[in-house]
Amino acid sequence: MKRTLTMMLTVLALVLTTSIVWSQEDGWVKIFNGENLDGWKSNEKYQGFDVKNGAIVGKGNRNHLYFMEELKNFELKMDVKISAGGNSGVYVKSQWQDESWPVTGFELQVNASHGDPVKTGSLYNIIKIFQAPHGDDEWFNYHLILKGNTLEVRVNGKLLYTYVDPLEKGGVPQNENITEQNKRISQKGYIALQQHDPKSIPEFKNIFLKKLPD
């Protein structure tokens, strides 16, 4: 009886531990379990991401890993690291593509020392930041808030900017890459992680999502 009770308590402890791992208070949910890529899908013919030491790690040629749930208003937090000379990105509001670079949505740059002058925190093709807020092989935290026609970008707890989408109010696109059809913050879309090239090794962990009301 004592042995049975001990086993039951052990199982209960595991269940409670799993619950704590997968969720936080105030609506935050962990969308990467640290063990495998359940809930995520690669868009190329080969798998460009592995799971190592509790992190999603990119490898090889171009590949994008989508979290397979369309989202509209939400907050996203994750810890990110990029190798020396590496280049990667985090996409939001992208539509699914079987291959190639996402042509919809918004890319948040991940770059500390790559030759591309646009560094981490930049909203690619829209807002350019030329000084990386972190070093090579150094974990940093991305915190993105997407609500209505705005995107708020924080790195390591510091607010970098709040971007207001001009298209949502009938404004003019800022360059030829931004169109009425392919980039609107208010549209539904997927989160996607980027593997840039064989010389880049991005890592992602502690990925949390909080859905916001429409």
The domain limits of the chain are 1-25, 31-211
Residue 8 has pLDDT above 60, yes or no: no
pLDDT band at 102 (very low <50, low <70, confident <90, very high): confident
- Cα 183–Cα 188–Cα 190 angle in degrees, nearest 5: 90
Using a 10 angstrom Cβ sphere, with 0-12 exposed, 13-18 middle and 19 or more buried, the burial of residue 106 is: buried
Q: Which residues pair with 202 in a beta bridge?
A: 82
State if pTM tops 0.85.
no
pLDDT band at 19 (very low <50, low <70, confident <90, very high): very low
Using one digit for the tens of pLDDT, what is the confidence trace for 50-65?
Answer: 999 999 999 988 899 9
- Cα 93–Cα 173–Cα 65 angle in degrees, nearest 5: 25
Q: What is the pLDDT of residue 5?
A: 40
Residue 203 contacts residue 137 (beta carbons within 8 Å): no
Using one digit for the tens of pLDDT, what is the confidence trace for 119-142?
Answer: 999 999 889 999 999 999 999 999
CA-CA distances (angstroms) from residue 41 to 37, 100, 112, 153? 8, 14, 26, 25
- Number of neighbours of residue 146 by Cβ within 10 angstroms: 22
Q: Which CATH superfamily is domain 31-211 in?
A: Exo-inulinase; domain 1 (2.60.120.560)
